[in-house]
């Protein structure tokens, strides 16, 4: 180990090889040591050493039933479990905070959402810190190891992945959020920050409705509108890491003021509060509860259905603009759009087909998120485990 704490030499190689074995098990399922050696290109003896270490760390288990793989003794399948090794994903938004704990095997262990008591004022971090510490303390009390945390925020994140550069709907500018949480954790849980749409896009690619495509576009559906762009399992971040701030494209109603202070932003026409203004009802505790109330009203009221169709038209205009530039195989609508899909997707799809120049050759599918309001927190939990899979964090 070097003086900087970065592994060098054989330690670095060992961690990289460990990450390779973990990724092989996550991607392709259980395998004998011989099969793992084939998958990874590592020597069987090296795989055996790594499996023994992972088993000691409770990251893998070996099945008692042997499987023949040709010549020699039958092998025992190795399976990725990692039930005690967790990544903590958090999300802070205007009206709620959420937490998801994900184990190394990709299984969700904890899901929790709490409304925040900040109506009419920018939120503090107190609710987020309280939720994060409560969940982490409970997990540790049950014998789990939380290897790291990632926070999803609706705004721009600095290159250090620790600072919220600009989140207008939260009223945050240059907030050192990762440091605040690490202090609350007692400085023993590495914490990073990422954009909420990026996190949700990763979650959909790993667990949701875009596992079958290589290129996808995810659209958040909260007070703010953001996008996450995934290509071959990786996020497209842009030159400064700010790709996806689509809510501030100047394609909305020019008479509407956005939370950023500008006029005519797309999210001022299709964000949650814009939708509520259109249908004329009040906001409830969470975006999901609000959308369910609107869906219930739309089922009974023709004027509400017409208002949502108009919103769908404005949504489709923005989707056509984005699809013309990005050419996604699928577009995923998340957040409040999901319960209202029956009322907004037909109009959005019609505009997309009419306005996209390449529609006759390729028309991206509009899909509704299958992960609900916790998509961003789930993607953040995946990110919190990324260093383990990359082999840069020892178990």
Q: pLDDT-derived band of residue 8, with 50, 70 and 90 as boundaries?
A: low
Contact 319, 269 (CB under 8 A): no
| pLDDT tens-place string over residues 267-307 | 999 999 999 998 988 888 778 889 999 999 999 999 999 99
State yes or no: pLDDT of 83 exceeds 90: no
Annotated domain spans of the chain: 9-80, 85-199+376-390, 213-370
State yes or no: pLDDT of 71 exceeds 80: no
Contact 244, 195 (CB under 8 A): yes
Choose which CATH entry (3.30.420.40, 3.30.360.10, 3.30.390.30, 3.40.50.300) describes domain 85-199+376-390: 3.30.420.40
The CATH superfamily label for domain 213-370 reads ATPase, nucleotide binding domain (3.30.420.40)
d(CA 136, CA 125): 16
Chain center to CA of 315: 22
State yes or no: pLDDT of 163 exceeds 60: yes
CA-derived radius of gyration, the chain: 23
pLDDT at residue 350, as a whole number: 97
Question: How many helices (H) and strands (E) in the chain?
Answer: 13, 14
- Residues in CB range of 43: below 8 A, 6 or more apart: 37
Q: What is the mean pLDDT of residues 181-198?
A: 95
Q: Which two tokens stand for residue 165?
A: 């550069």
pLDDT at residue 47, as a whole number: 93
Instruction: Report the predicted TM-score, pTM, of the whole model to 2 decimal places.
Output: 0.87
d(CA 215, CA 200): 14
Contact 291, 341 (CB under 8 A): no
Could you tell me which of 311, 260, 168, 167 has the C-alpha nearest to residue 177?
167
Q: Strands 145-153, 85-92: parallel, antiparallel or unpaired by DSSP?
A: parallel
Other CB atoms within 10 Å distance of the CB of residue 323: 23
Judge whether 85-199+376-390 and 213-370 match in fold. Answer: yes
Q: Please, is 279 exposed, middle or buried when counting C-beta atoms within 10 Å of its C-beta (0-12, 13-18, 19+)?
A: buried
State yes or no: pLDDT of 74 exceeds 90: no
DSSP designation for 317 = H
Find out if CATH 2.160.10.10 is the number for domain 9-80: no
Q: pLDDT-derived band of residue 4, with 50, 70 and 90 as boundaries?
A: very low
Could you tell me which of 343, 349, 350, 270 has the C-alpha nearest to residue 308?
343
Chain center to CA of 206: 9
């Amino acid at each position: 180990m070097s003086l900087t704490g970065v592994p060098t030499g054989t330690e670095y190689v060992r961690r990289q090889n460990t990450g390779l074995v973990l990724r092989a098990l996550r991607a392709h399922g259980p395998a004998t040591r011989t099969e793992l050696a084939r998958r990874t290109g590592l020597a069987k003896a090296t795989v055996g050493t790594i499996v023994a270490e992972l088993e000691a760390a409770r990251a893998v288990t070996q099945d008692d039933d042997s499987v023949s793989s040709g010549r020699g003794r039958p092998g025992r399948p190795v399976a990725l479990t990692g039930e005690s090794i967790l990544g903590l994903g958090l999300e802070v938004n205007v009206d709620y905070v959420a937490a998801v704990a994900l184990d190394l095997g990709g299984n969700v262990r904890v899901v929790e959402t709490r409304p925040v008591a900040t109506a009419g004022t920018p939120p503090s971090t107190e609710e987020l810190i309280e939720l994060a510490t409560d969940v982490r303390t409970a997990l540790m009390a049950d014998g789990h190891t939380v290897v790291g945390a990632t926070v999803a925020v609706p705004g721009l994140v600095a290159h250090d992945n620790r600072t919220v550069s600009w989140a207008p709907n939260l009223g945050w500018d240059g907030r050192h959020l990762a440091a605040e949480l690490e202090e609350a954790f007692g400085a023993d849980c590495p914490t990073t920050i990422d954009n909420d749409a990026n996190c949700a896009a990763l979650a959909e690619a790993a667990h949701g409705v875009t596992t079958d495509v290589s290129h996808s576009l995810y659209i958040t559906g909260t007070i703010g509108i953001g996008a996450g762009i995934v290509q071959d399992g990786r996020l497209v971040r842009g030159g400064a890491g700010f790709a996806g701030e689509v809510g501030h494209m100047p394609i909305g109603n020019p008479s509407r003021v956005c939370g950023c202070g500008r006029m005519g932003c797309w999210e001022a026409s299709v964000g949650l509060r814009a939708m509520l203004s259109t249908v004329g009802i009040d906001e409830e505790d969470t975006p999901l509860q609000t959308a369910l109330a609107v869906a219930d009203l739309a089922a009974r009221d023709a004027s509400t259905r017409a208002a949502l169709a108009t919103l769908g038209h404005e949504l489709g205009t923005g989707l056509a603009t984005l699809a013309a530039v990005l050419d996604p195989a699928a577009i995923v609508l998340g957040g409040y759009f999901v319960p209202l899909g029956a009322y907004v997707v037909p109009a959005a799809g019609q505009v997309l087909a009419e306005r996209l120049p390449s529609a006759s050759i390729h028309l991206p599918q509009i899909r509704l998120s299958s992960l609900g309001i916790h998509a961003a927190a789930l993607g953040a939990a995946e990110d919190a485990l990324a260093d383990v899979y990359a082999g840069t964090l020892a178990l």
